[in-house]
Amino acid sequence: MEKLRNGYLFPEISRLELEHIEKYPNAKLISLGIGDTTEPIPEIIASSMANYAHALSTADGYSGYGPEQGNKALREAIVKAFYKDLQIQDTEVFVSDGAQCDITRLQLLLGSKVTIAVQDPSFPAYIDSSVIIGQAGDEGGSGRYGSIEYMKCGPENNFFPDLATTSRTDVIFFCSPNNPTGHAATREQLELLVKFARDNGSIIIFDSAYSSYVQDDNCPRSIFEIPGSRQVAIEISSFSKFAGFTGVRLGWTVVPDELLYSNGFPVIHDFNRIVSTCFNGASNVAQAGGLACLSSQGFKAVNSLIDYYMENANVLGEALSSVGLQVYGGANAPYIWVHFPGSNSWDVCKHILEKTHIITVPGSGFGPSGEEFLRISAFGHRECILEATARLKTLFL
Ligand code: PLP
């Protein structure tokens, strides 16, 4: 813990927000920062959780502990909804209380002795959990943690690492669509990644928390669309951004039977042991909600929320481009990644906050290559997004 350089990024952003509210109590603050969902959970889904919860007060409806791996019906529904024709079995799906928690459980499984690679920039939980488990420490002022391989992903390489210069590691965290850049890797890019992992005997931990935002058919929604991935990949995913379950808490991890350690032992057996020992299963109420999301009516309802956020992304992206800013992301993800050449990203973030009362996230919080960039979230009520675009346009015109 001592080796963690900074506090976790998002609580720091919340602190910035609170300080601003204290300083300007009458300002209308707009938060396009931490990336929390804002729109209500569709009624059909919320009522299925309410009904389930209410039934717990009856003799017939009561249930206690469920299977640690998740309810069979939900595991089957996840396979049907997200892995159709991809050879995934429901027994390979582990239902969880969210992707973040599974990142840490996977770190527990992997231990302190493995080497890891991360996209730079990337979601901070990969690195922070890696430091917590003891895989890496602060290198002191360099903006990097020693022994982590930072795979630079910026506009100059189409947000995909140069694998020819990437060192071999035991584990590769890879997030697509990426948080924060909003870039979704193409099929060709993921084929290269899978080949790289196979050649090196590495495990890819593929974070597909934003897969439901992918619009482009050439950008796979799952790593398991790539032939040969079953031997090298684990996928973590979530209902958070898919269905507004950031507060309900539900996710899943897929560990294929064919993924083996170098001694031939199946990784799935150990993950099952970790889940049974350190977790005990997701809330049964949340799982009832998950099942409702995957019913045909529920699926339609959550997809219209995704369309809503993607329209927000479109509005933001167009507005910022129209004032001459270089804008990335937003096409297959609810994040806009804006370049401010030559600037310090914390300074830009604070300047925007001071002048427009809009919270954003400085790119450097996601890794050294995030310097000069800002992440703007498209999660928000439409009127807030429109108001924010008007304020930003005025600032940058
Ligand atoms: N992975 C990525 C890339 C995320 O952006 C987030 C949340 O923002 C998570 C995982 C955490 O998801 P969950 O809410 O399922 O824990």
| pLDDT single digits (tens) 238-265 | 999 999 999 999 999 999 999 999 999 9
Confidence of residue 332 (pLDDT cuts 50, 70, 90): very high
Residue 146's pLDDT band (cuts 50, 70, 90): confident
Q: Within 10 A of 387 (CB to CB), how many other CB atoms are there?
A: 17
Average pLDDT (64-83) is 98
3-class state of residue 28 by DSSP:
coil
pLDDT exceeds cutoff 90 at 142: no
Q: Supply the residue whose CA is at minimum distance from atom 5 of ligand 1.
A: 179
Q: Are 232 and 194 in contact (CB under 8 A)?
A: yes
Residue 173 structure tokens? 């965290």
Q: For ligand 1, which residues put their CB under 6 angstroms from it?
A: 35, 98-100, 123, 175, 179, 207, 209, 238, 240, 246, 251
What does the pLDDT look like over 372-382, one tens digit per residue? 999 999 999 99
**Domains of the chain by start residue, with CATH:** 9-39+298-396 (3.90.1150.10), 47-294 (3.40.640.10)
Does the pLDDT of residue 204 top 70, yes or no?
yes
Q: Which of 123, 126, 129 to mutate to test the pocket of ligand 1 (most atoms within 8 A of CB)?
A: 123
Percent of the chain predicted with pLDDT > 70? 99
End-to-end alpha-carbon separation of the chain, Å? 44
If one residue of 100, 103, 126, 279 were mutated to test the ligand 1 pocket, choosing by the most ligand atoms within 8 A of its CB, it would be: 100
DSSP 16-34: HHHHHHHH-TTS--EE-SS
Ligand 1 mean position to 100 CA, how many Å?
Answer: 5
Tell me how far the alpha carbon of residue 182 lies from the centroid of ligand 1, in angstroms.
Answer: 13
Atom of ligand 1 nearest to the CA of 238: 15
Q: What is the pLDDT of residues 305-317, one digit of tens each?
A: 999 999 999 999 9
**What percentage of the chain exceeds 90 in pLDDT?**
93
Mean pLDDT of the chain: 96
Choose the residue to mutate in 36, 94, 105, 179 for probing ligand 1, maximizing ligand atoms within 8 Å of C-beta. Answer: 179
**Ligand 1 center–CA 394 separation, angstroms:** 32
Look at residue 58 in the predicted model and tell me its pLDDT: 98
The tokens of 216 are what? Answer: 């482009």
What is the reported pLDDT for 242?
A: 98
Count Cβ atoms below 10 Å from residue 94 Cβ, excluding itself. 28
Ligand 1 mean position, distance from CA 393 (Å) = 30
For ligand 1, what atom is nearest to the CA of residue 237? Answer: 15
Mean pLDDT of the 81-108 span: 97
Q: Considering only CA atoms, which of 222, 242, 237 is closest in space to residue 289?
A: 242
Contact criterion met (CB below 8 Å) for 190 and 184:
no
The pLDDT tens digits of the residues spanning 96-137 come to 999 999 999 999 999 999 999 999 999 999 999 999 999 988
Which pLDDT does position 52 carry in this prediction?
A: 98
Site to probe by mutation for ligand 1, drawn from 206, 238, 366 as the one with most ligand atoms within 8 Å of Cβ, is: 238
| DSSP 3-state of 317 | helix
Residue of 240, 249, 252, 253 best suited for mutating to test ligand 1, as the one with most atoms within 8 Å of CB: 240
How does residue 6 score in pLDDT terms, banded at 50, 70 and 90? confident
Q: Which amino acid is at 311?
A: E
Lowest mean pLDDT among 12-16, 30-34, 231-235, 334-338: 12-16
Enclosing H/E stretch for 235 = strand 233-238
> Which ligand 1 atom is at minimum distance from the Cα of 34?
8
Asked which of 131-140, 174-183, 294-303, 341-350 is least confident by mean pLDDT, the reply is 131-140
**pLDDT for the residue numbered 144:** 78
351 pLDDT higher than 90: yes
Q: Please count the other Cβ atoms lying within 10 Å of the Cβ belonging to residue 339.
A: 16
pTM (two decimals): 0.97
Which ligand 1 atom lies nearest to the CA of residue 122? 3
Give residue 241 CA to ligand 1 midpoint distance, Å. 8
Check residue 141 and give its pLDDT: 65
**Contact (CB, 8 A) for 120 and 150:** yes
Atom in ligand 1 nearest the alpha carbon of residue 245 = 14
CA–CA separation, 246 and 10 (whole Å): 14
pLDDT at residue 322 greater than cutoff 90? yes
Under 8 Å between Cβ of 118 and 173: yes
Phi then psi dihedrals of residue 300, to 5 deg:
-60, -45
Q: Is the pLDDT of residue 139 over 80?
A: no
Distance 24 CA to ligand 1 centre (A): 31
pLDDT at 368 over 70: yes
Ligand 1 centroid distance, CA of 209 (Å) = 6
Residues 6 or more apart in contact with residue 200 via CB below 8 angstroms? 168, 169
Alpha-carbon distance of 146 to 81, in angstroms, equals 40
From ligand 1's centre to the CA of 238, what distance in Å? Answer: 7
Nearest CA, atom 12, ligand 1:
99
Question: Do residues 357 and 30 touch, judged by C-beta distance below 8 A?
Answer: yes
The alpha carbon of 104 and the centre of ligand 1 are apart by a number of angstroms equal to 12
pLDDT for the residue 147: 85
Q: Which atom of ligand 1 is nearest to the CA of 98?
A: 15
Asked if the model's pLDDT at residue 274 lies above 70, the reply is yes
Strand partners, 146: 137
**What's the 97 CA to ligand 1 centre distance in angstroms?**
11
